[in-house]
Chain A
Amino acid sequence: MTATDIDRPAATSHRAARQRERAIRKGEPGAFSESKRRLSSPGATIAAIIIAAIWTVPTLGLFVTSFRQPADINTTGWWTVFTNPNLTVSNYVNTLNFTDTLTVGQSFVNSLVIVIPATLFPIAIALLAAYAFAWVNFRGKNVLFIAVFSLQVVPIQVALVPLLSLFSNGVTIGNWAVFPGLNLNSVDGSFARIWIAHTIFALPLAIFLLHNFIAALPVDIMEAARIDGASHGQTFFRIVLPLARPAIASFAILQFLWVWNDLLVATIFTSGSNFPITKLLTDLAGTYGQTWYLLSAGTFLAILVPLVVFFALQRYFVRGLLAGATKG
């Protein structure tokens, strides 16, 4: 439906309006466009704008605060800036000059280095798994799928110590080393552990989401591909992958934001010069919190990338959310 479709009913004749009313009473498809019309009425739009504005006020306050002098923040509210503007960029300058283990720039790069593979890896693995669960028949498929799906209830906190122990000690049964351990303790420039950790933690949800989407693809397309002689590999790369793009994009946004904002996994599985920007943010205030006034500026530097990603992929995000609802 386009915007003109929505507008049209409002301009139609009296008779058409009565027809529509009848349709609503019968619960016919017209009801859908009726609720759509109501939601896009001027009143609803104004209400939405007001809610959005109220929702944005705290963020605005934080943004204004990031430009204020520390002593001003301590004594007056951020709204006084409109009557008594006394702004400074010194918070941003001090944040950018901040360095204890890392500078903001270095940890920013670290965050990107962590977040890009930690988004791509689970999507690559989960797509293959989701396709297999949806369209390949094998023994024990349902049991396995439920097992993967139910792993979502395992909180990551309980997995931290075993996973860390696995990375450092490996696994040995008797004299037989099943997994020798990565020997990466405190090794600088190694991101392997955090990539693996984030990938593992993301997989259950990724497989579940992508499976639901891929399983909903029309069976006719799959059968047509099979009749034309496509193997599973060809079906996957030439049919499923292009069609699943909205689902991939929406999961990519979720995973990107989750990894970007993560602190717990990052502090456990990285060390020294590998820390991401979230770790730097917690350090900004100092041991006794005496430089707390840098936090608002630091926060705004840290959310730049998520904002860019969200706005760049936003249309996929909406499409991905609607994808399941409006099929057929």
Chain B
Amino acid sequence: MVSRSPSSTRRIVAAVAVTATGMLVLAGCTTANPGSGSTSGASKTVTIYGPDTGTEATELNASWAAWEKTNGITIKYTGDGNFTTNIATKIQGNDLPDIGMFPQPGLLDAAIQSGKVQKVASDTEANVKKNFSKDWQGYVTSKGAMYGTPLDASVKGYIWYMPADFKKWGIDVPKSYADLVSDIGKIQSTTSAAPFCAGFNSGTASGWPGADFLAEVVLSSAGPTTYDSWVAGKTKFTDPAIDKAFTLLGQILQNPKYVNAGFGDVASINSTAFADVAAKVADGSCAMTNQATFLEANFSTTKTAAGATPKVGSDGDVWAFPLPSVTSGSNAVVGGGDFAAAFNNNAATQKVMAYLSSADWANSLITVKDGSFISANKGVTASKETDPLLQTAIKTLQSSDTTFRFGADDAMPTVVENAFWKGIVDWTNGMPQAQAEAEIQAAWANAK
């Protein structure tokens, strides 16, 4: 380059100076992080990357806040609503947090297969063996080695209803699935309006509420052995046992007289957002809906027919009973949960893993004020949970005669899960049952 005039040199210098100053200022802004409560520079930081955001993330942060202070470890939780897709990118790109919080056993298994997940240390393994049932231990174990710990849990398969309306119609909480269907028929003949509502719309995951409902019916009609073999891909979707569950589910969800209360016809199930059903249950236009415990949070923004915010409780405006079993006497619940797995063996990471697998953390989690989390940890004192519904859910999880199974869609490989959701949506749109089953089954060919 030949000689520059003084003014252009000045300009370059100015540009560089501005950029450099800018960067310094920015660096200054970002290192000062008023949100974290770390006291000294010596404290270690452990990063956790998980799917829970918003209120749930705040609750998680609150659950370990006291432990962080006493142990001098800062836990930095990052929530990401698209965790399930982004974790795959991060594993492939080798950009890993210290601990990942996996919402699905299938996803955890895929991470284990990648070879990046570390086996747990002996103290964590002892905690998991002591605190969790065999069902739960199985989800974090691969080829005899333990790779993580269960964290929180959720129980699916509750039927939400209004106790006052049931009393008015002279209906008791049904004891069997057949009773449930006949009760829906009774309500329909009394009110001559559809009594049941459902919503399957959930963006790219549309269809999951229906998949969960089907899984609940499969587990209670065919039993845990068939359920496991179904989840593993050995029992096909076209199998008579699964076909029967579709038929049972169709008795409610495919009957134009029974659905979709407050929204429209059968096909409107697909266009209804899964959380929107809460508003229709609250104002009385929908007598019953099936959803997990977490629907409770959605009732805070709804109104009863009288215009008040509904109270959730057995003596309140809205309450829920577990989906009655198809075969009497079986006590099987479908649920969900998160699992922590570590991507390195640092001392601080192992310490956090041991804490997360302990009864201490589980008790701290369920006692977070206004919290929505529960845990399957046997060390949890159920009476500490102030929310009546969550307390019954914890008791269900802890009961020794409860068979717990993960939501089938979440436990299947991702390609099958997506096909499952899509198949449920197609079936609701009017695709013949056999064709929908065959379409979902075809996805197993793409699962490795």
Of the candidates A99, A274, A288, A290, the one having the most CB atoms from chain B within 10 angstroms of its own CB is A288
- Bound: A117/B30 CA distance, A: 15
- A residues 286-328 in Cβ contact with B at 8 Å: 286-293
B55-A188 in contact (CB<8A):
no
Q: Is the CB of B275 within 8 A of A273?
A: no
Which of B78-86, B378-386, B390-398 participates in binding chain A?
A: B78-86
The tally of residues in A whose CB lies under 8 Å from a CB in B reads: 58
A71 proximal to B (CB < 8 A)? yes
User: Does chain B have a CB within 8 A of A284?
Assistant: yes
For B56, give the chain A residue with the smallest CB separation.
A287
Residues of A within 8 A of B22 (CB): 116-117
For the complex, give the distance between the alpha carbons of A59 and B57 in Å.
Answer: 30
| Complex contact A290–B30 (CB within 8 A) | no
Interface check A168, CB cutoff 8 A: yes
Q: CA separation between A292 and B80, bound complex, in Å?
A: 16
Interface size on B, residues (CB 8 A): 60
Partner of B301, one of A71, A162, A191, A279: A71
Is the CB–CB distance between A267 and B54 below 8 Å? no
Among B4, B55, B78, B89, point to the contact of A234 (Cβ < 8 A).
B4
Docked-complex contact A110 and B30, CB < 8 angstroms: yes
Whether a CB of chain A sits under 8 angstroms from the CB of B189 is no
Q: Is the CB of B55 within 8 A of A290?
A: yes
- Name the contact of B95 in the complex, choosing from A106, A185, A234, A285 (C-beta under 8 A): A185
Residues of A within 8 A of B27 (CB): 189
Task: Label chain B's interface by main secondary structure.
Answer: mixed
Q: Which residues of B contact A161 (CB under 8 A)?
A: 89, 92-93
**What 1/0 mask marks residues of chain A from 111 to 129 whose CB sits below 8 Å from any chain B CB?**
0010011001000100000
Instruction: Report whether A233 and B86 are in contact in the complex, using a CB–CB cutoff of 8 Å.
Output: no
Asked if B114 is at the interface of the complex by the 8 Å CB criterion, the answer is no
B29 CB–A CB distance under 8 Å: yes
A residues in contact with B57, CB < 8 Å:
100-101, 283, 287
The answer to whether B301 and A100 touch across the interface, beta carbons within 8 angstroms, is: no
Task: Indicate if A164 sits at the interface (CB-CB under 8 A).
Answer: yes
B86 touches A106 (CB 8 A): no
A243 and B94 CA atoms in complex are apart in Å by: 45
- Report whether A272 and B47 are in contact in the complex, using a CB–CB cutoff of 8 Å: yes
Which residue of chain A is the closest to B297 with respect to CB atoms? A290
- Contact of A273 with B95 in the complex, beta carbons under 8 Å: no
Are A74's CB and B279's CB within 8 A?
Answer: yes
Q: A290-B275, A293-B301 are in contact. Are A120 and B53 (CB under 8 A)?
A: no
The listed residue (A271, A273, A286) touching B54 by CB distance below 8 A is A286
B33 at the interface (CB under 8 A from A): yes
| Cβ distance A285 to chain B, nearest Cβ, rounded Å | 6
State whether B30 touches A189 (Cβ < 8 A). yes
- Given A98-B54, A283-B79, A290-B55: A120 and B33 interface contact (C-beta under 8 Å): no
- Contact of B2 with A by CB under 8 A: yes
Q: How far is the CA of A103 from the CA of B34 in the complex (A)?
A: 10
Report Cα–Cα, A54/B106, bound state, in Å. Answer: 47
> Counting CB contacts under 8 A, is B300 at the interface?
yes
- With contacts A189-B30, A189-B33 known, what are 20 further pairs, Cβ within 8 A? A71-B309, A74-B301, A100-B57, A100-B79, A102-B35, A124-B15, A161-B92, A186-B76, A188-B30, A231-B3, A232-B1, A233-B4, A233-B8, A267-B86, A282-B82, A287-B55, A287-B56, A288-B56, A290-B298, A293-B301
Task: Pick 24 A–B contacts, CB within 8 A, sort by A.
Answer: A71-B301, A74-B301, A99-B58, A100-B55, A101-B35, A101-B57, A101-B77, A109-B30, A113-B26, A117-B22, A161-B89, A162-B93, A167-B95, A185-B96, A186-B98, A189-B33, A268-B86, A271-B95, A272-B47, A279-B80, A283-B81, A287-B54, A287-B79, A288-B275
Hey, which bits of chain B sit against chain A, CB under 8 A?
1-5, 8, 11, 15, 19, 22-23, 26-27, 29-31, 33-36, 47, 49, 51-58, 61, 76-82, 86, 89-90, 92-98, 273, 275, 279, 283, 294, 297-298, 300-303, 309
Interface residues in chain A, defined as those with a beta carbon under 8 Å from any beta carbon in chain B:
70-71, 74-75, 98-103, 106, 109-110, 113, 116-117, 120, 124, 160-165, 167-169, 185-186, 188-189, 191, 231-234, 237-238, 267-268, 271-275, 279, 282-293
7 A-B pairs with least C-beta separation:
A164-B93, A286-B54, A100-B57, A283-B53, A70-B301, A189-B30, A290-B297
